[in-house]
Amino acid sequence: MAGASTTAVAQEFETVIGLECHVELSTTTKMFCGCRNEFGAPPNTNVCPVCLGHPGSLPVPNERAIEYIVRIGLALGCDIAPRSLFHRKNYFYPDMPKNFQISQYDLPVCVGGHLDVEVDEHVRRIGITRVHMEEDTGKTTHAGVTGRIGQAEYALVDYNRAGVPLVEVVSEPDIRSPEEARAYLTELRAILEALGVSDVRMEEGSLRCDANVSVRPAGSHELGVKVEIKNLNSIRSLERALSHERDRQVELLRAGGRPVQETRHFDEETGTTHPLRSKEEAFDYRYFPEPDLPPLELDPAWIEAIRATLPELPAARRDRLRREHGLRPEQASIVGSDARAAEYFERAVALGAPGPAVARWMTQDLAAYLNRTGEGWEELAKRFSPEALADLLRRSEEGELSSTGAKAAFELVVETGRPLGEVIEERGLRQVSDTSQLEAWVDEVIAENPRLVEQFRGGKEGVLNALVGQVMKRSAGSANPQAVSELLRSRLAEP
Amino acid sequence: MPVDIDIDHVARLARLELSDEERERLRAQLSLILEHAAKVSEVATADVPPTASAIPRPTVLRPDVPTPSMGPEEALANAPDREDDRFRVPRIVEVE
């Protein structure tokens, strides 16, 4: 089954996926106390009586965090509850010193939104059940012989992350394939980035995702047995884990079996999922209203003020790039989904570079470079600025650089860090359109290739390319091929 | 109205080991508490909206401004065990 295509599986079975995404907010301080919210600080330096759960300490919600969750809710088209409640989620695990996590239960801040995702130029609307506010937990490290959780001798706990504002975005089970799940998470990340509410760094855990997946015979409306997958640390992991889990469940059903409801752990190395041993009872969290926090009542005027500050969201930006700059859908999706890519694009265009050419470069040579180096647009902008790209495009437009020369110049600039103008001069990349120099090469080539000249004059048009090639070779690539071609034609037309 | 309570389930959730005597005593006490709480729903009327807080307080929010943290020494002062600046806890296993 492994590797079976989505299409093949889709004809017989339907995959039903819901995602729960956790977003750490990029506030300065924690959710309920004034300790700093920062990644990578020395252990237990950002802690206080509130986040350590000392008796008598009282939580006070962070206004910025509430503003951020409202921003997220509004961007996802949710209703913002005028009144919501915090609940205690009780459990026994040393990652929370209080033995409970403050979360929300039946009255979250945001309910009922949606997110449109595009797969293969087909747009699907994924429902958002709710978006609620909670706090992150501390970081436990299992120590001992192997470092594996089952064989660990003890655990070490750092509470710097305990109490960091965390938003959970819960989707409806509307997602139908691993590809759609990837598109959903990619779009959610782009929206969060545009909103400026989170670092959305999956590798640092500021965006995390759990997936619920089940499979049912195509055409059925009943939900299959649901399996929850944890430990999805990248968008690629999410897609791989879901493909594997879908195939595993399909195989079980085909063999006349049935998946069991359980939590499975995705193993990055093998690309497979494994059951986590866990007692059903452990999931009785005994939620009850947090007695230390009054209901959260939000002033409708404040919510409207926040709505007024929402930035242009990725979907709107992609639309605009298509409309205003004539970008093709796949170009708009690369340029428009990443806030920094969009900024790069707009700066180059503001300098007078034509939109389609900028987009072509960004989605081809520049994207290839980013793939190769693993850098982001912000880093690329330092090596090869939008100004440099605009300059490069202008030189190409004016005929100073051939397309080969432009590519070579770009590679040299990112490699050496030297200015574009210098690189062009030094490496002799300037395209020669100077007629007297071209004429000399053209005349030499005509004199040395009497047979080709004969054939061309006899009506074999295609021969011209061979002659252009000869001139290009003679010029070591610096001749302007179009000028060469024109010159050859006019010379050969002479008696 | 007597309320039946699964004392073993409650004890397991709270990670408490109870002797037979404690189980009986606590079962009776908890039942009484629940009976008492059940009385509230007898008097609650349809026109009173449910609430989670008896005191009418406005929402109090805190500006996103850092205040001093206590630092590892003070934080770990009462820790039963530590390793460098982290709390050391027994190995984590699921119950039973």
Ordered by where they begin, the domains of chain B are 7-42 (1.10.20)
C-alpha closest to that of A74 among A305, A318, A333:
A305
- Coil, strand or helix: which one is A377? helix
Determine the average pLDDT of the residues in A437-455. Answer: 89
Q: How far apart, in whole angstroms, are the C-alpha atoms of residue A20 and residue A237? A: 15
Q: What angle do CA A7, A259, A12 make, to 5 degrees?
A: 25
pLDDT band (50, 70, 90) for residue B69: very high
Q: How far apart, in whole angstroms, are the C-alpha atoms of residue A149 and residue B29? A: 39
Residues A105-141 have pLDDT tens digits of 999 999 999 999 988 878 999 999 999 999 999 999 8
* Structure-model confidence comparison of residues A421 and A80, the more confident one: A80
Which of B13, B51, B92 faces A284 most closely, judged by CB atoms? B13
- List of residues 6+ apart from A147 with CB closer than 8 A: none
Inspect the interface and report whether the beta carbons of B75 and A52 lie closer than 8 Å.
yes
Residues A459-469 have pLDDT tens digits of 888 889 999 99
Residues A324-345 have pLDDT tens digits of 999 998 899 889 888 889 999 9
What are the backbone dihedrals phi and psi of residue A176, each rounded to the nearest 5 degrees, phi first? -115, 0
DSSP string over A248-314:
HHHHHHHTT--PPPEEEEEETTTTEEEEPP--GGGG----EE-TTS--EE--HHHHHHHHHT----H
A284 touching chain B per CB within 8 A:
yes
* Average pLDDT, rounded, for chain A: 90
For the whole model, what pTM was predicted? 0.81
Taking the CA atoms of residue A8, residue A14, residue A20 and residue A26 in that order, the dihedral angle to the nearest 10 degrees is 40
Inspect the interface and report whether the beta carbons of B58 and A294 lie closer than 8 Å.
yes
Which of B67, B69, B86 faces A156 most closely, judged by CB atoms? B86
> What confidence score (pLDDT) does residue A145 get?
59
Q: How far apart, in whole angstroms, are the C-alpha atoms of residue A387 and residue A136? A: 42
**How many CA atoms does the CB half-sphere of B44 hold within 13 Å?**
10
User: What ipTM was reported for this prediction?
Assistant: 0.84
> What confidence score (pLDDT) does residue A307 get?
97
Which of B66, B75, B94 faces A44 most closely, judged by CB atoms? B75
A58 touching chain B per CB within 8 A:
no
Number of H helices, E strands in chain A: 18, 16
Q: Find the residue in A nearest to B56 (Cα).
A: A294
**Number of Cβ atoms within 10 Å of the Cβ of B91:** 14
B15 touching chain A per CB within 8 A:
yes
- Domains belonging to chain A, first-starting first, are 12-305 (no CATH), 315-426 (no CATH), 435-493 (1.10.10.410)
Determine the average pLDDT of the residues in A143-157. Answer: 71
Q: Are strands B86-90 and B82-83 parallel, antiparallel or unpaired?
A: antiparallel
What is the DSSP code (8-state) at residue A14?
Answer: E
Does pLDDT of A285 surpass 90? Answer: no
Classify burial at A70, counting beta carbons within 10 Å of its beta carbon; exposed 0-12, middle 13-18, buried 19 or more: buried
Could you tell me if A192 and A25 are in contact, meaning their C-beta atoms sit under 8 angstroms apart?
no
Does pLDDT of B33 surpass 80? Answer: yes
